[in-house]
Structure 1
Amino acid sequence: MEERHLKKAVFFIISLICLGFFTWGFVSILEEWKENEIAGFDNGVFNVVHGFISPKLTTLMTSITFMGGVKWLSISTIGLVIVLVFMKKYPLALFLTLTVSLGAGFNWLLKWIFKRDRPDIEALIEQGGYSFPSGHSMGSFIFYGAVAFMLYRALDRAVFKWLSVLALSVLILFIGISRVYLGVHYPSDIVGGFSAGGGWLTLCIAVYIYFYKRSDWKYVDE
């Protein structure tokens, strides 16, 4: 019993640390932006990333960025929820549905609050709406992060657990890079999206674990 309580305490301490870290990252970007001190960072990253522009890489980056778009993430979420329901993993299906859908609403709210215009450069693709925080980066962190969480819990061998987390983390990172490469987001938009998405995902996982451990869900979900 004491070991169980210890594990629970460690989990929520780690959750608080992660939530604090992501919140700090988001607030730091906001402060730098409001004080007009973020331009150096944005321009520096732009110069590095845009130095690699080529037709083949543009095609690749366009494909990668599609995997972080609303259409793809919506279809993937619905498909995965259907699979989870079919497998009778009802708590996970509810977790994924609420995490992704409410996360999308949270991103819309943040964009509406800050109303940052997109970069004033020649973009490689058409993209409307506000820029901060990046919806692709935030949505990808939330969806693929949630999938990584579920795979980590479902897989038996530690090597497969961490390989799945690593692979999805790399995908999230490259989706963010693709947005800068294509010229539709400032690098600070990407960092802001990752920070907001990470904070939201951490909160959702903590709430899921809390209710999962306190209810009979665990007997359905095993």
Structure 2
Amino acid sequence: MEERQLKKTVFFVISIICLGIFTWGFVSIVEEWKENEISGFDNGVFDVVHAFVSPKLTIVMTSITFLGGVKWLSICTIGVVIVLLFMRKYPLAIFVALTVGLGACFNWVLKWIFKRDRPDIEALIEQGGYSFPSGHSMGSFIFYGSVAFILFRAFDRKIYKWISVCCLSMLILLIGISRVYLGVHFPSDIIGGFSAGGGWLTLCIALYIYFYKRSDWKYANE
């Protein structure tokens, strides 16, 4: 009983710390942008990333960025929800649907609030809409992060747990890099997207654990 309670306490402490870090990261980017102090960072990263531009790499980056697009993530979300429903994992199905769906709405609201124009450079692909925070970065963090959370809980062996987390984390990072490479986002847009997505995902996971596992903890403490 005491061990279960300790795990519960540790989990929520870690959740609060992660939420605080992501919130701090997002607020810091916004403050630096509004004070016009972020351009040096953005331009510096642009110079480094665009030094590697080549036709073959552009094809690779275009394919990677597709994995973070609205259409692909929508299809994958529906697919994951259907699989979870088929497996009778109803709480997890609801978790994925609400986390990803409301997360997309959250990104739209943030873009509407900040209304940052996209980089004034020659982009390698066409992309409309506002720039901050990056929808690809935020959406991929939320969706692939949700999948990582599910797989981490599903696998019994720790090696499989961490392999799945590391692979999906790398994919999220590559999607963010691809947006900068293709010239459709400032690097600070990517960090803002990761921060907002990470904060949202942390909150949703904490709420999921609280509402759907509360009965288990109560039972364990009886």
Q: Structure 1 length as normaliser, TM-score?
A: 0.96
Distance, in Å, in 2 between the alignment partners of 1:168 and 1:214 is 28
What does residue 66 of structure 1 align with? 66
Deviation at residue 214 of structure 1 after TM alignment: 2.2
1:177-196 equivalences in 2 (<5 Å): 177-196=177-196
Deviations 1:157-180 (A, max 9, x none): 000000000000000000000000
User: Are positions 1:90 and 2:87 aligned together?
Assistant: no
Which structure 1 residue ranges, 4+ long, deviate > 3 Å from structure 2?
Answer: none
Query: Secondary structure in 2 aligned to 1:179?
Result: helix
Query: Secondary structure in 1 aligned to 2:131?
Result: coil
Q: Which amino acid aligns with 2:31?
A: E
Distance, in Å, in 2 between the alignment partners of 1:52 and 1:149 is 33
What does residue 147 of structure 1 align with? 147
What does residue 44 of structure 1 align with? 44
User: Are positions 1:100 and 2:100 aligned together?
Assistant: yes
Distance, in Å, in 2 between the alignment partners of 1:208 and 1:215 is 12
1:170-209 equivalences in 2 (<5 Å): 170-209=170-209
Distance, in Å, in 2 between the alignment partners of 1:87 and 1:134 is 33
Q: Which amino acid aligns with 2:104?
A: A
Distance, in Å, in 1 between the alignment partners of 2:134 and 2:84 is 28
What does residue 220 of structure 1 align with? none
Deviation at residue 213 of structure 1 after TM alignment: 1.5
RMSD: 0.7
Q: Which amino acid aligns with 1:81?
A: V
Size of the aligned set, in residue pairs, is 216
Deviations 1:42-74 (A, max 9, x none): 000000000000000000000000000000000
Distance, in Å, in 1 between the alignment partners of 2:215 and 2:77 is 25
Q: Which runs of 5+ in 2 are unaligned?
A: 217-222
Distance, in Å, in 1 between the alignment partners of 2:126 and 2:20 is 35
Deviations 1:117-142 (A, max 9, x none): 00000000000000000000000000
Query: Secondary structure in 2 aligned to 1:152?
Result: helix
What does residue 212 of structure 2 align with? 212
Deviation at residue 19 of structure 1 after TM alignment: 0.1
Deviation at residue 215 of structure 1 after TM alignment: 4.1
What does residue 121 of structure 2 align with? 121
What does residue 29 of structure 2 align with? 29
Distance, in Å, in 1 between the alignment partners of 2:79 and 2:202 is 23
Deviation at residue 3 of structure 1 after TM alignment: 1.2
Q: Which amino acid aligns with 1:210?
A: Y
Q: Which runs of 5+ in 1 are unaligned?
A: 217-222
Identity %: 82
Distance, in Å, in 2 between the alignment partners of 1:164 and 1:213 is 23
